[in-house]
Amino acid sequence: MSLSTSARAIGLDLPRQPSRVVPTVIAIIVGIVIVAAAAGLPIPWDDLGSLPGQVVHYLTLMFAAPNWEMLPQALFETWRSISMAWIGAIGCVVVSIPLGMLAASNVGPVWLRLPLRGLFAVIRAVPEVIIALLLLTVTGLTPFTGALALAIAGIGTQSKWVYETIESVQEGASEAVRAAGGGTAEITRWALWPAAAPVLLSFALYRFEINIRTSAVLGLVGAGGIGSMLANYTNFRQWDTVGMLLIVVVLATMLMDAISGAIRRRIMRGPRIKTIAKALAKPKEEHSDVARTR
C-alpha cells in the first residue's frame, strides 16, 4: 500500500505530486538543440584521435627549447601591455564611478538612471575586440587604441558594479544625513561614498587585473603590446619564440594578479589584527618598564 493510499484511508488529503512533464519536455528540447548544433558544425570527427598527439608535438616545439634571445623585447612589450591595461582601468573607473552612482536607485532620478542602465547594457554587449577594431580606423595601430578600447568596454561592467554597490549600502547613515537636512548630494558625499569607497576601490583594482588579460588579446588585432608580438611570431611559425612569449605572459599576469590581490585584500580588510594588537600592547610594555625603573 502506497503512502497516498494510506493517507486517504485515514482521511488526509496530501498535495498532488508535481508533474514532471514540463521539465522532461524542456530537457528533450535542449538535448535536440545541442545535437543539432553539433551536427551542423564542420567537425572532422576522424581527426579527433590524432588531436592529443598534435598538442604534445606543438607543446614540445614551444617549450622544449624556448628562444630567450628575444626576452628583452618581450619584457618591453609586456610593460607596454601593462601600461595599456593601467591607463584603460583609470579611464574606465574615472568615468564609471560618477555615471554608476547616478544610475543607482537611491541617487539618480528614474528618467536618468534608466537610460544610463540601458547604455551600460549596450556597452557590455560589445566585446573589447570589436571596439578596438572600430577604433583602429580613427586612432591607428597604437597602444592608445588598446587603452581606449579597454576603457570604453569596461564602463558597462564597472558602472553596473558601482550602482549595485551603492544600492546595497545600509540606510542608517543616509537617514541620519537626511534627518540633518541634507539633500541627495550631501547624502551621496557623506553617507553613501564613505561606505562604498573600499568596495569600489577593490573593483577598480579588479578591473586592472581583467585589463591585463584582455590587453594580450587586443594585441592580436594590432593594438600593440605583447599580444601583437605573439601574433606575429605565431604567424611565422617560430614556435620557440612563441613558447618564450607565453611563459612571459603567464608569469607577468600571475605577478600582477598577486600584487593587485594583496592590495585589494588590504583595502577590504584594513590593517592586520597583529599590528593593532602590537599597538595596544605597547602602552602596557611602557607601563611595565616605568614600574621596573621605580
pLDDT tens by residue, 58-102: 889 888 888 898 899 999 988 988 888 899 999 999 999 999 989
pLDDT attached to residue 152: 92
- Alpha-carbon distance of 104 to 113, in angstroms, equals 7
CATH numeric code, 72-270: 1.10.3720.10
End-to-end CA distance of the chain: 90
pLDDT attached to residue 95: 93
Q: Count CA atoms closer than 13 A to 97's CA, side-chain side.
A: 19
Angle formed by the axes of helices 128-139 and 143-167, nearest 10°: 140
Residue with cell 561606505: 195
Residues 6+ apart with CB under 8 A from 161: 100, 200, 203
* Residue (of 104, 66, 88, 90) closest to 143 by Cα position: 88
pLDDT attached to residue 99: 92
Tell whether the torsion through CA atoms of 285, 290, 293 and 294 is positive or negative: negative
pLDDT attached to residue 119: 93
- Alpha-carbon distance of 229 to 255, in angstroms, equals 20
Three cell numbers, residue 230: 605573439
- Give me the average pLDDT of each 10-residue run along the chain (294 residues): 54 64 87 82 74 86 88 90 90 92 87 92 89 82 84 91 88 77 78 84 87 82 80 88 90 88 80 55 54 56
List for the chain the helix, strand, coil content (%; round to 5).
80, 0, 20
Q: Are residues 49 and 230 in contact, defined by beta-carbon separation less than 8 angstroms?
A: no
Q: Rounded to the nearest 5 degrees, what angle is found at the Cα of 160, between the Cα atoms of 155 and 164? A: 150
Predicted TM-score (pTM) of the model is 0.73
- Alpha-carbon distance of 77 to 229, in angstroms, equals 8
Domain ranges, ordered by start, for the chain: 72-270
Three cell numbers, residue 126: 560589445
Reduce the DSSP state of residue 224 to 3 states and report it: coil
Three cell numbers, residue 212: 591585463
Q: Give 48's DSSP letter.
A: G
What torsion, rounded to 10 degrees, do the Cα atoms 129, 135, 136, 137 define?
Answer: 140
Tell whether the torsion through CA atoms of 186, 174, 98 and 213 is positive or negative: positive
- Alpha-carbon distance of 197 to 276, in angstroms, equals 22
For 218-231, what is each residue's pLDDT tens digit? 877 777 788 888 88
Three cell numbers, residue 129: 575586440
Q: Are residues 116 and 108 in contact, defined by beta-carbon separation less than 8 angstroms?
A: yes
How distant is the alpha carbon of residue 104 from its chain centre?
20
